[in-house]
Amino acid sequence: MSGLDYDSLLDRVTKGLEKVGSKSKRDRLELPKPEILWMGRKTIIRNFAEYPRLLRRDPGHVLMFLAKELATAASLEGDRAIFIGRKDPHSFAVLIDRYMKANVICPVCGSPDTTQEKIKRTHFVICEACGARSPTG
């Protein structure tokens, strides 16, 4: 038996154990607080890139969601996201939470260990914990 087989077996055993505890710590992703900077009439999230990275989502998808919810224009500049208008840090935290509920958390088992796949014009959340494939808005 190769090392890889052993690892995948161990992984399966670990995953099985996690399911026993109804709500394990892994059910909640630790997300950073948004680092907000105001410049004139613009709001900049300095650590924006951390969110799509931790959520394993396309930065443009996260940005579009936030821009739509805030009813404003937004753009990416390196790791930062820039929004038109003065927005408060609390609204970003609320919206990131909403994004997670809509696009990251598996609706079947509640795990955040998911990936997103776009088929035609529909986004699907594919759960690595229970294997469910759920369409999202």
Rounded distance between C-alpha atoms, residue 6 and residue 74, angstroms? 46
- The minimum distance between CB 119 and Zn ion, in angstroms, equals 18
Cα separation, 43 vs 71, whole angstroms: 13
Q: Of 53-112, which residues contact Zn ion (CB under 5 A)?
A: 106, 108-109, 111
Give least dist CB 127 to Zn ion, A.
Answer: 3
Residue (70 or 130) nearer to Zn ion, CB: 130
Binding residues for Zn ion restricted to 31-50, rule: CB under 5 A: none
Q: Which pair of structure tokens corresponds to residue 58?
A: 């396309």
Q: How far is the CB of 8 from Zn ion (least distance, A)?
A: 19
Least distance from C-beta 49 to Zn ion, angstroms? 26
HSE-CB of 79 using CA atoms within 13 angstroms: 9
Nearest of 120, 121, 123 to residue 103 by alpha carbon:
123
List binders of Zn ion among 106-135 (CB under 5 A).
106, 108-109, 111, 127, 129-130, 132
SS3 79: coil
Beta carbon nearer to Zn ion, 59 or 107: 107
Q: How far apart are CA 117 and CA 124, in angstroms?
A: 5
Which residues contribute to the site for Zn ion (CB under 5 A)?
Answer: 106, 108-109, 111, 127, 129-130, 132
